[in-house]
């Protein structure tokens, strides 16, 4: 009951003008970054990360949540209007939405996408608030060997979910783990890999990795592909006329889609959000596939199915709520955006775990409220206010946009610690991430390896220390055995079961440009 009243208090916190302003600014920034092909909400939060050093933790978390929700929804705007998904999670919406757009029903498709996102996002946020106390209780039952197996499970899922490039996924994850070992050892006061320099004794901060992997590398990729056909497509799209009155989906269409479709997709999306590394693309794809499987009109799929749009958007926005569960309880991010939000928590001295909810629920409650309000109110409001101008907004010159991103990224790296060394590190990781993305190595895996590496090492060594070096402790401890069996089950399900045709479950965009899961 206490926790519930704290969660309710989170909504009151949003009434504070400063917090409200951060939520709205975050939502608008997230909408822009999500709608703009090539930019993602991960990049938006990455650029926010240095700023969190100068603002309070509550506005920073509120802003992160609204960026996350907005970014997940707004990918559907360019997906529908110009058939270029703003984010990979809108791939299925592009298939159905653009088919409707060609039939002159673009505004109707955008309306259904917004409604699906609104319902899915709200359900995801409610499920998050409802199950967080339960998740906290469960996490208290997991002991050190179990925690090791859980982190191992997360890393294995992150690697195998990218079936097309598992070896590269493993390389990227191990690179992240290696970078995390630089600095003082996790258990003993022993410096590692500082190569005789004082600077590296403190280890590598998450910020230059995030800024480099998501911001600097994006600028470099755009510098290489600056004369793409996208500019011309956006120029042509400026003439598209969309009227506000067409946004509102008729009740008959909503009834035809079926309320159960929204709810089922939201639950699927939330469940997938809990899985580490799966993310919005998988949530949208699985929800879409399930809806198609149970549809009375499967022939509409691929030709402008409103049910397909509703399922995909409901699923990917509900994922936002699910992704926070493992991040807040175990420090295991469900997707790249929550990985960066984890950075926001750590910068502000908050350690994920069941104690976080017990002792600092008042700091988290406004973030949950922001997730809910963003889905329920800001998505339809933004569509109503800015819907007719979306395509013009995303037609902004790339030269201006990426130059501005480069300045924010670099100055942001400086302001975090007032150090040009951090700026240099961000550029170094940016160059590394540029080559990784060009060669189809996942930078998301690099980041998750960096975040989870120290936990993996710490829990492994502690478990072995407690069992006098006997590795059988991982099989004799019931919680550890459970997660090891779960890992084996996932390996079987994803790798060994008969391969099914794939749709849009990949993590990266066609050129690796979109790195959001």
For residue 192, the cross-strand partners are 183
Residue 220 Cβ, how far from another protein at the closest point, in Å? 4
Residues belonging to the chain = 517
Which three-class secondary structure state does DSSP give residue 302? coil
Looking at the Cβ atoms of 10 and 183, the one nearer to another protein is 183
Give the nearer residue to another protein in terms of CB position, either 3 or 225.
Answer: 225
Nearest to another protein of 5, 470 (CB atom): 470
**Complex with another protein: residue 223 or 489, whichever CB lies closer:** 223
CB of 332 to another protein, least distance (A): 18
Q: List CB contacts of 445: < 8 A, sequence separation 6 or more.
A: 158, 159, 162, 169, 172, 173, 176, 277
Nearer to another protein (CB atom), residue 303 or residue 462: 462
Whole-number Cα distances in Å, 108 to 69, 247, 265, 304, 458: 21, 5, 20, 11, 52
Closest CB to another protein among residues 124, 506: 506
Residue 95 class from Cβ within 10 Å (0-12 exposed, 13-18 middle, 19+ buried)?
buried
Nearer to another protein, 83 or 458 (CB): 458
Q: How far is CA 332 from the centre of its chain?
A: 12
Least distance to another protein from the beta carbon of 258, Å? 40
Nearer to another protein among residue 2 and residue 468 (C-beta): 468
Q: What's the distance, CA 329 to chain centroid?
A: 17
Q: Looking at beta carbons only, is 196 or 293 nearer to another protein?
A: 196
CA–CA distance, 255 with 257 (Å, rounded to integer): 5
Burial of 317 (0-12, 13-18, 19+ CB in 10 A): buried
Minimum Å distance from CB 445 to another protein? 11
φ, ψ of residue 191 in degrees (nearest 5) = -75, 145
The least distance separating another protein from the CB of residue 193, rounded to whole angstroms, comes to 5
Question: Least CB distance from residue 13 to another protein, whole Å?
Answer: 21
Q: How far apart are CA 134 and CA 38, in angstroms?
A: 38
Q: How far apart are CA 460 and CA 185, in angstroms?
A: 14
Dist CA 289 CA 296 (whole Å): 13
User: How far, CA to CA in Å, does 157 sit from each of 4, 53, 469?
Assistant: 32, 32, 27
Q: Is residue 258 left, alpha or beta, with left meaning phi > 0 and alpha meaning psi from -120 to 50?
A: left
Q: Smallest gap, in angstroms, from Cβ of residue 470 to another protein?
A: 8
Q: Which residues pair with 183 in a beta bridge?
A: 192
> Among residues 143 and 192, whose Cβ is nearest to another protein?
192
Q: How far is the CB of 379 from another protein (least distance, A)?
A: 26
Q: What's the closest the beta carbon of residue 150 comes to another protein, in angstroms?
A: 17
Looking at the Cβ atoms of 312 and 433, the one nearer to another protein is: 433
Q: How far apart are CA 124 and CA 318, in angstroms?
A: 4
User: Nearest approach, Cβ of 192 to another protein (angstroms)?
Assistant: 5
Angle between helices 57-82 and 17-35 (to 10 degrees): 30
Phi and psi at 233, nearest 5°, equal -60, -45
Residues that bind another protein (CB under 8 A): 51, 54-55, 167-168, 170-171, 174-175, 177-178, 181, 185, 187-190, 192-193, 195, 216, 219-226, 228, 397-400, 402-404, 406-408, 410-411, 414-415, 418, 420, 423-424, 427, 431, 434-435, 438-440, 456-457, 460-461, 464-465, 468-469, 511
Q: Write down the least CB distance from residue 43 to another protein, Å.
A: 16
Helices 229-237 + 57-82 axis angle, to 10:
80
């Amino acid at each position: 009951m206490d926790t519930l009243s704290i969660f309710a208090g989170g909504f009151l916190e949003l009434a504070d003008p400063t917090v409200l302003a951060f939520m709205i600014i975050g939502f608008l920034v997230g909408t822009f970054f999500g709608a703009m092909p090539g930019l993602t909400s991960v990049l938006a939060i990455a650029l926010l990360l240095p700023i969190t050093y100068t603002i309070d933790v509550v506005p920073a978390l509120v802003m992160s949540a609204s960026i996350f929700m907005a970014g997940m929804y707004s990918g559907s705007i360019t997906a529908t209007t110009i058939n270029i998904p703003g984010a990979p999670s809108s791939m299925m919406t592009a298939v159905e939405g653009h088919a409707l757009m060609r039939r002159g029903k673009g505004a109707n498709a955008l309306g259904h996408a917004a409604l699906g996102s609104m319902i899915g996002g709200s359900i995801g946020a409610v499920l998050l608030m409802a199950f967080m106390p339960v998740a906290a209780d469960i996490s208290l039952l997991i002991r050190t060997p179990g925690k090791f197996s859980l982190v191992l499970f997360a890393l294995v899922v992150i690697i195998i979910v990218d079936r097309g490039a598992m070896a590269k996924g493993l390389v990227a994850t191990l690179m992240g783990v290696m970078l995390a070992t630089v600095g003082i050892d996790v258990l003993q006061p022993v410096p590692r890999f500082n190569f005789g320099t004082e600077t590296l004794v403190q280890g590598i901060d998450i910020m230059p990795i995030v800024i480099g992997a998501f911001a600097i590398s994006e600028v470099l990729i755009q510098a290489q592909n600056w004369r793409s056909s996208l500019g011309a497509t956006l120029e042509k799209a400026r003439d598209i006329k969309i009227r506000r009155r067409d946004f509102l989906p008729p009740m008959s269409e909503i009834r035809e889609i079926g309320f159960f479709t929204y709810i089922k997709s939201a639950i699927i999306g939330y469940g997938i959000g809990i899985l580490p590394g799966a993310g919005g693309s998988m949530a949208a794809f699985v929800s879409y596939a399930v809806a198609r499987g149970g549809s009375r009109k499967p022939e509409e799929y691929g030709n402008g199915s409103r049910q397909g749009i509703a399922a995909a958007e409901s699923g990917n926005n509900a994922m936002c709520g699910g992704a926070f569960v493992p991040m807040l309880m175990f420090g295991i991010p469900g997707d790249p955006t929550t990985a960066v939000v984890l950075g926001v928590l750590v910068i502000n001295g908050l350690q994920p775990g069941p104690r976080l909810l017990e002792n600092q629920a008042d700091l988290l409650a406004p973030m949950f409220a922001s997730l809910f309000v963003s889905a329920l109110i800001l998505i339809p409001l933004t569509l109503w206010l800015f819907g007719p101008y979306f395509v013009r907004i995303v037609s902004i010159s790339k030269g201006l946009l990426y130059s501005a991103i480069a300045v924010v990224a670099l100055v942001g790296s400086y302001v975090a610690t007032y150090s040009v060394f951090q700026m240099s590190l961000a550029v170094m990781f940016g160059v590394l991430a540029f080559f990784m993305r060009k060669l189809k190595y996942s930078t998301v895996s690099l980041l998750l390896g960096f975040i989870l590496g120290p936990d993996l090492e710490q829990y492994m060594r502690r478990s072995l220390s407690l069992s006098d070096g006997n590795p059988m402790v991982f099989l004799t401890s019931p919680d550890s055995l459970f997660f090891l069996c779960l890992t084996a089950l996932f390996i079987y399900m994803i790798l060994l079961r008969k391969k099914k045709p794939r749709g849009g479950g990949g993590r990266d965009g066609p050129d690796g440009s979109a790195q959001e899961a």
